[in-house]
Amino acid sequence: MQTVLRWGRSLFVALALPVVLVTLWWVLSAGSTNYYSPPLQTILTTFGEVWFGPRLVDDVLPSVTRLVIGYAGAVVLGVGLGILLGANRTLRRLTEPVLEFFRAIPPPALIPILFLFAGIGDTAKIIVIVFGAIWPVLLNTVEGVRAVDEVLSDTSRSYGVSGWARMRHLVLPSASPQIIAGMRQALSISIILMVISELFGSFNGLGFAIIQFQRSFAIPEMWSGILLLGILGFVMSLLFALFERRSLRWYHGLRRSQRGEK
């Protein structure tokens, strides 16, 4: 009974504000005659019509595919390079200025150049996502790898845990809290870049659809696309939170015990 009550409470806390906001939107826009801000009811009706049709395959799927590939690429490259740089002082010092330079370039600025070289297909869009999202992963991995505890490192050495086993059982898990923090930032950057890369020179995708609706004055459709992007981002971060809770269960437990909680 206690747990049910607690669950009910936290569910209420989580949903209260969204419900209020949606209700407000619904009520305030109900009689709207403004062409650019149609009633929420209209937007929702359009939402079903637009997105549960061919556009699911034609626009949503390509977007999500590019997002997943780009994000995965950023994570794999970021962690891989991060381990390399984190473990090698010389390499780190050698590459630092160059990396700082590239990091300073806003990824959308690369789009025109990339489109020249890689065309306006999926490849260029994926590269844009990778290029923008790799930085938080890379830099956090470098820091995480460098911060491996000295005693744990000595322990591993004395028990013959070396090479790949050291990477797998010591370095990666020990850096994982930082790596995952970087991955969380990279996820939101990926979603932003997914949309931006579709705003120019594109045949499909969510960003493309939204800009197309806007240009053809299909305003409720445009709104519904923005709504869908919000939902997509929300679901992604929910999935990520689940992943984080699973993989960092030890870390949160450790932190709690260090703070003297149970």
Partner 1 sequence: MSDPTATPTGRTALLDVAKVQKTYTGQGRTVEAVRDLTFSVGNGELVCIVGPSGAGKTTLLKVIAGLLEPTSGTVTLDGTQVTGPPPSMAVVFQEYGRSLFPWMTVEQNVELPLKQKKMAKERRAELVRDALEAVGLAEAHSAYPWQLSGGMQQRVAIARAVAYQPQVLLMDEPFAAVDAQTRADLEDLIRSLWHKLGVTILFVTHDIDESVYLGERVLVLSSSPTVIMEDLTIDLPDERNQLDTRSSPRFAELRHHVYEQIQLAKHRRGGEPAPAGATGASAATTPA
Q: By the criterion CB under 8 A, which residues form the site for partner 1?
A: 149-152, 154-155, 157-162, 165, 169-170, 173-174, 176, 250-251, 253-254, 257-258
Q: What distance separates the 2 farthest-apart alpha carbons in the chain?
A: 75
Report the distance separating Cα 110 and Cα 238, nearest Å.
Answer: 30
Give the SS3 label for residue 120: coil
CB of 262 to partner 1, least distance (A): 9
182 and 136 in contact (C-beta within 8 Å)? yes
Closest to partner 1 by CB, 172 or 227? 172
Residue placing its CB nearer to partner 1 in the complex, 175 or 228: 175
Give the nearer residue to partner 1 in terms of CB position, either 101 or 164. Answer: 164
Give the Cα separation of 13 and 11 in Å (integer): 5
Minimum CB distance to partner 1, residue 250 (Å):
4
Q: What gap in Å lies between CA 107 and CA 105, rounded to an integer?
A: 6
Which residue's CB is nearer to partner 1, number 165 or number 239?
Answer: 165
Nearer to partner 1 (CB atom), residue 7 or residue 250: 250
CA atoms within 13 A on the CB side of 151: 0
Kindly state the smallest distance separating residue 156's Cβ from partner 1, in Å: 9
Give the list of residues 6+ apart from residue 230 with CB closer than 8 angstroms, or none. none
Cβ 170 to partner 1 shortest distance, Å: 7
CB of 88 to partner 1, least distance (A): 20
CB atoms within 10 A of CB 26: 14
Going by C-alpha positions, the residue among 20, 106, 66 that lies closest to residue 202 is: 66
Least distance in angstroms from the C-beta of 260 to partner 1: 12
Report yes or no: 97 and 42 within 8 Å, Cβ to Cβ. no
